[in-house]
A and B are shown apart, each in its own frame.
Chain A
Amino acid sequence: MNTIRLSLSGMSCAGCVSRVETALNDVAGVISASVNFAEHTATIQGDVPVARLIDAVGNTGYGAAELKGVEDEGEKEAAEMAHYRKLLQKAAVAAAIGVPLFVLGMGGLLPSLDTDGGRLFWFIVGGLTLGVLVYSGGHFFTGAWKSARHHNANMDTLIALGTGTAWIFSMVIIAWPDWVPLSAQHAYFEAAAIIIALINFGSALEMRARGKTSEAIKRLIGLQPKTARVIRTGVEMDVAIDEVRLDETLRVRPGERIAVDGDIIEGHSSVDESMLTGEPVPVQKQQGDPVVAGTINKLGTFLFRARRIGKDTALAQIIEMVRAAQSSKPAIGRLADKVSSIFVPTVLIIAVLTFLAWSNFGPSGQASTLAVVTTMTVLIIACPCALGLATPISIMVGVGKAAEFGTLIRNGDALQQAGRLDTIVLDKTGTVTEGRPSVTRLVSTGDWKQDELLRWAASIEQGSEHPLAEAILDAANDRQLTLLDAEGFTAIAGRGVVASVQGRRVLLGNRQLMRENDVETAVVEEVAAALTQKAQTPVFVAVAGDMAGVIGIADAIKGDSHAAIRRLQGLGLKVVLLTGDNKATADAVAQQVGIDQVFADVLPQDKAAKVASLQQQGERVGMVGDGINDAPALARADVGFAIGTGTDVAIESADITLMRGSLHGVPDAINISRQTVRNIKQNLFGAFVYNTLGIPVAAGVLFPFVGILLNPMIAGGAMAMSSLTVVSNANRLRFYKPGAES
């Protein structure tokens, strides 16, 4: 059974509701239909083609169309392809008339207007060109007319006026050739047809190129599976994704894409999350672990409980955020917006002034013709599209590209600001380091082997809830060591733990615990001192009164932190470490990752103030933190980067979210920001220069000096190319690769 929503039109009273409901309920296959008058919508349950429902509503005298929740990219592409073909067809028809006229005219093979036969020929050509204007250029004229009625003017206005002027002027010349001198008797039908052909052709190419700019969002939407396998009353069944309910149990088989967000309740597997986080290594998942929609299950099978569905899944939120960011504009684009909004009427005024200038000061005998030609050329060459497209198209590609490698940029301003930062403040715990203690070093003494030392240590830690115990147990688990039974477990506060394994007394803890139990530590003191110097905690292990070894435990530095920090410094940024830890620990970490400036002993509530103090020194500060504890500092910074592992990171909390959990996301974001802003500048520069040079040249300012006038067909070609150039330039950003410094 499907749920279909229709939007209804033409309903004026509540009485219409029952008529529509009755009509819908009468359609075979409909189980229930209800109409919401306030929303003008109908919700229908049942297995029935949408077209039949729309027909049923239509038969009652109202209108209906399907309201879709989930986007159908296939349908969109088909519609775009149909429009693309239509544009090419229109261009071909216009070219079929315009090009022969142009070629024959250049060869002097067209009849002149001073014979009856010649005039008849030109009347026929005028009629054919009118056909071209109606078939191939009709949409420009309707657009221009409708816009004008709404007190608005756009590109259609300019094209319609330009080509319309050419056609009317040419018809006037044919009908009343005596009005203009013989030397000025030239019809511009070929210009009108070729301009229409070029602009349609340019629009078709631009449409193709624009399709590529939204590849990233299409890819994200494509991650969403259409069906899911749910277990209802013990029966497994495939249902449409919209029908999955909260807390329902779903099965995921090897190679399948996960349908909604949830927690594993049975089974285990590894899951490829690279499409969302950019992290290439599959993540191991077992009971209790979260899984997210759109990621791919590798080899295992598991059951999970749906925790977030529909628009609440991480994937849906990511899509929403990327889409919103792609549509937002940074400050750099606002000037272009202001210019675009007054552009067309301004060009219309320039066109009238051009006409007046040529009429008053043009060469005698040719003034009226040149006035018309230059006016037409001004109207045709002006391109508001290049200006209007310059910023949004680059933002679209830049934000999409960043999303591809797990960097979510909130909006255009964040994108622009990221490239202008000069200081990056890194929170230590969870940002530069892993954020949880782990075993960094194992040193055994005497006959003890490293694995045995770890097995014994983990065995007596089984009962402990201390964070250091967790690190030791994790390390034993990673090495798949079988633990031994421990008896008489005792935790001694501030010292460590004591227990018996295989009848032998085991001590695990700090130096003080060893001394108090007369265990000689000299053999491991050198190692312990080295560990302390690196801000790691030495944990001593003694068995039956003898030293067995020492275990180094620390919040380990992420493997790629040092390299990422070097990249940031290579980009000319100052990097600062900010932490609540003591100075010795902070300095040790800073030294290992190559950071010179450290703010240690900073309470969580003071982190924002530290960021502010850097800003007061005139620095543009980017703050990188975990997005939850560091939220005030992230908000205070010029750009806040929230870093997280996998899709757990709170994507609402920062300007830029790094889902990969790697600091490399920061230089990547800064790089893509710089490249995108550079791309926007190139586009804006090109569009402004094109219009500010093109329009005066089209108006004929060069004519008094060098005798050059721009051919209106060249203006048409230039106009078609200008917006295509902007889109193609933006598309270059698609080839950006993470790690490639600009």
Chain B
Amino acid sequence: MNVLFVNLAGVALIAFIIWWFWLSRPKAQRVRKNVVDIVVEAGTYTPPRIEVEAGKEVTLRFLRKDASPCAEKVIFESLGINADLPLNTPTDIVVTPVEAGEIPFTCQMQMYRGSLVATNESPPE
């Protein structure tokens, strides 16, 4: 009975891991501003998903609070952008998503992950 319970719990846990980390995505934060603050802290970009309007220029202002060297760079591979993030100093990265779609950004080792979601609809006020 115990082993059966453990096995069922284990299978449920595996299903949860697959769903949480691979199948579901964090809710995108829709922004209308042309400047978005992104905090780099404790292994994360906050907010991790930012929804913007395609074709419009947006300034992503990264503020790195994480002293770990893992956080020292942010890379938008699909846009060819590599930027250093000095500690406690805001760093602006200006991007213009040309068309609708997702633009991931990561640290050098792909452990810190975030994405810019460009949509064709204008986000609400």
Mark A residues whose CB is within 8 Å of B: 7, 9, 38-40, 65-68, 71-72, 75-76, 79-80, 82-83, 86, 139, 142-144, 146-156, 203, 206-207, 210, 323-324, 326-329, 337, 340-342, 344-345, 348-349, 352-353, 355-356, 359-360, 384-385, 387-389, 392
Q: B48 contacts which chain A residues (CB < 8 A)?
A: 150-152
Contact assessment for B35 and A40 in the assembled complex, using a CB-CB cutoff below 8 Å: yes
Q: B45 contacts which chain A residues (CB < 8 A)?
A: 150
CB distance from B115 to the nearest CB of A (A): 11
- Contact status of A340 and B111, CB under 8 A, knowing A151-B26, A356-B10: yes
Q: A207 contacts which chain B residues (CB < 8 A)?
A: 69
Q: A356 contacts which chain B residues (CB < 8 A)?
A: 6-7, 10
- Contact status of A327 and B75, CB under 8 A, knowing A345-B17, A385-B109: yes
- Contact status of A147 and B109, CB under 8 A, knowing A7-B90, A68-B89: no
CB distance from A732 to the nearest CB of B (A): 19
Contact assessment for B86 and A71 in the assembled complex, using a CB-CB cutoff below 8 Å: yes
A148 closest partner in B (C-beta): B20
The CA of A66 and the CA of B86, in the complex, are separated in Å by: 11
The CA of A23 and the CA of B17, in the complex, are separated in Å by: 50
Q: B35 contacts which chain A residues (CB < 8 A)?
A: 38-40
Q: A349 contacts which chain B residues (CB < 8 A)?
A: 14, 17-18
> Does B120 have its Cβ within 8 Å of any Cβ on chain A?
no
Q: B69 contacts which chain A residues (CB < 8 A)?
A: 80, 206-207, 210
Contact assessment for B84 and A323 in the assembled complex, using a CB-CB cutoff below 8 Å: yes
Contact assessment for A388 and B111 in the assembled complex, using a CB-CB cutoff below 8 Å: yes
New contact pairs (10) apart from A79-B88, A139-B42, A150-B45, CB-CB < 8 Å: A67-B89, A147-B43, A147-B44, A150-B48, A152-B44, A154-B43, A206-B69, A323-B84, A345-B21, A360-B7
Q: A83 contacts which chain B residues (CB < 8 A)?
A: 67-68
> Does B102 have its Cβ within 8 Å of any Cβ on chain A?
no
Q: What interface size band does chain B fall in?
A: 35 or more
Q: A146 contacts which chain B residues (CB < 8 A)?
A: 41-44, 46
Q: Which of B23-63 contact A (CB under 8 A)?
A: 24-26, 34-35, 37, 41-46, 48, 59, 61, 63
The CA of A147 and the CA of B13, in the complex, are separated in Å by: 18
Q: B80 contacts which chain A residues (CB < 8 A)?
A: 324, 328
> Does B108 have its Cβ within 8 Å of any Cβ on chain A?
yes
B35 closest partner in A (C-beta): A40
- Contact status of A76 and B21, CB under 8 A, knowing A327-B82, A388-B108: no
Contact assessment for A150 and B3 in the assembled complex, using a CB-CB cutoff below 8 Å: no
Contact assessment for A327 and B73 in the assembled complex, using a CB-CB cutoff below 8 Å: yes
A5 closest partner in B (C-beta): B90
Mark B residues whose CB is within 8 Å of A: 3, 6-7, 10, 13-14, 17-18, 20-22, 24-26, 34-35, 37, 41-46, 48, 59, 61, 63, 67-70, 73, 75, 77, 80, 82, 84, 86-90, 92, 106, 108-113
The CA of A392 and the CA of B107, in the complex, are separated in Å by: 11
Most chain B beta carbons < 10 A, residue from A39, A139, A150, A206: A150
The CA of A135 and the CA of B96, in the complex, are separated in Å by: 42
B63 closest partner in A (C-beta): A65
Q: A155 contacts which chain B residues (CB < 8 A)?
A: 43, 111
Give me 24 A-to-B residue pairs in the complex whose CB atoms sit less than 8 angstroms apart, sorted by A's number. Answer: A7-B61, A71-B84, A71-B86, A75-B86, A79-B67, A146-B44, A146-B46, A147-B42, A147-B43, A150-B46, A151-B20, A152-B43, A153-B21, A156-B43, A327-B75, A340-B110, A344-B21, A348-B17, A352-B14, A359-B3, A384-B111, A388-B109, A389-B108, A392-B108
